[in-house]
């Protein structure tokens, strides 16, 4: 199977009605006519992931996020920059093709990132209908217990919390990745908390002076609101962990392996 053929098969299986024009699901490097020998899937094709992909003989890397540091892979400003040039050289010397699977992945029904999130956390039976955020009604727990579950399941040494760790909660909203930035509508995350009567909003990335400030003031006022901030990487990696299983019917006996991008920051 060639890279181009696999891309088209994935488009048809995930979100066939999603328009290809304008999508960020494009090749970042390599040859669309290359025969696929082995596949690595990842949240982001950073150098750690690329080195591991080369070690296992994967010549196709399917990444969820950009490879060259911008959402539309604008490399014009990077010409001659050693970070870009050395990374590009490594990809070329190891015969790796890098393809981004993002828009179609989120446009699938169900959204394949949230599908992986729910499987990892065991939350499939708790999902309820909602608008922008994915909503869950859990058995009553505390914010601290939620935080511990995320640390354990997502491999995090710590999480960021706004609110009372001892607060009891049931109604949870999740905005993975950059969804909690409210791109295009900075009011959306806080409005979602209010309109859906959420106890806790679980976020990827945040803006500190929007929803973060809203929840912080709610906590100061003694209201039953909290926010758990996990980061873009940790909230979407779980979808990529699930992807090899989803890909299996499309790729036959071509091996597929998930390579974790890992916690992107250190805590000191």
Instruction: Give the per-residue pLDDT at 123.
Output: 97
**Treating both helix axes as pointing N-terminal to C-terminal, what angle do 188-195 and 211-220 enclose, rounded to 10 degrees?**
40
What pLDDT score was predicted for residue 203?
96
pLDDT at residue 21 in the model: 78
> What's the pLDDT at 127?
94
What are the angstrom distances between the C-alpha of 254 and each of 77, 116, 251, 257? 36, 21, 6, 10
DSSP per-residue codes, 239-259: HHHHHHHHHHHHHTTS-EEE-
Burial of 22 by CB count in 10 Å (0-12 exposed, 13-18 middle, 19+ buried)? Answer: exposed
Residue 268: predicted pLDDT: 87
Residue 115, SS3 per DSSP: helix
> What per-residue confidence (pLDDT) applies to 19?
86
DSSP states of 117-183 = HHHHHT-GGGEE--SSSEEEEEEEEEHHHHHHHHHHHHT-S--EEES-TT-EEEEEEEE-TTGGG-T
CB 11 within 8 A of CB 3: no
**Residue 58, pLDDT score:** 98
Token pair belonging to 155: 């491999």
Tell me the domains of the chain and their CATH numbers: 3-107 (3.40.1390.30), 112-233 (3.40.1390.30)
Which residues, at least 6 apart from 247, have a Cβ–Cβ distance to it below 8 Å? Answer: 10, 39, 41, 256
What was the pLDDT predicted at 255?
A: 98
Q: What is the pLDDT of residue 209?
A: 94
pLDDT along the chain (268 residues), means of 10: 97 92 93 98 98 98 97 94 98 98 95 96 91 92 98 95 97 95 91 95 94 96 96 95 97 97 88
Q: Which pLDDT score is estimated for 93?
A: 98
36 DSSP assignment: P
């Amino acid at each position: 199977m060639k890279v181009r053929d696999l891309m088209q098969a994935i488009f048809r299986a995930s979100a066939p009605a999603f328009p290809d024009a304008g999508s960020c699901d494009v090749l970042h490097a390599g040859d669309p006519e290359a025969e696929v020998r082995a596949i690595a899937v990842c949240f982001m094709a950073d150098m750690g992931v690329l080195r591991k992909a080369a070690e296992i003989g994967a010549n196709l890397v399917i990444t969820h996020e950009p490879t060259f540091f911008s959402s539309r892979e604008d490399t014009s400003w990077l010409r001659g920059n050693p970070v870009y040039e050395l990374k590009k050289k490594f990809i070329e010397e190891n015969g790796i093709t890098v393809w981004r699977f993002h828009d179609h992945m989120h446009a699938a029904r169900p959204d394949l990132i949230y599908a992986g999130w729910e499987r990892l956390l065991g939350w499939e039976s708790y999902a309820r209908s909602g608008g922008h955020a994915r909503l869950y009604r859990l058995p009553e727990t505390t914010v601290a217990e939620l935080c511990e579950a995320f640390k354990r399941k997502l491999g995090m040494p710590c999480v960021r919390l706004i609110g009372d760790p001892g607060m009891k909660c049931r109604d949870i909203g999740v905005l993975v990745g950059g969804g909690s930035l409210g791109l295009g509508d900075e009011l959306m995350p806080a409005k979602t908390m209010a309109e859906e009567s959420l106890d806790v909003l679980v976020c990827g990335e945040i803006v500190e002076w929007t929803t973060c400030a809203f929840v912080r003031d709610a906590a100061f006022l003694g209201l039953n609101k909290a926010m758990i901030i996990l980061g873009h990487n940790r909230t979407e990696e779980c979808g990529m962990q699930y992807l090899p299983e989803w890909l299996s019917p499309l790729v036959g006996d071509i091996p597929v392996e998930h390579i974790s991008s890992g916690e992107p920051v250190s805590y000191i």
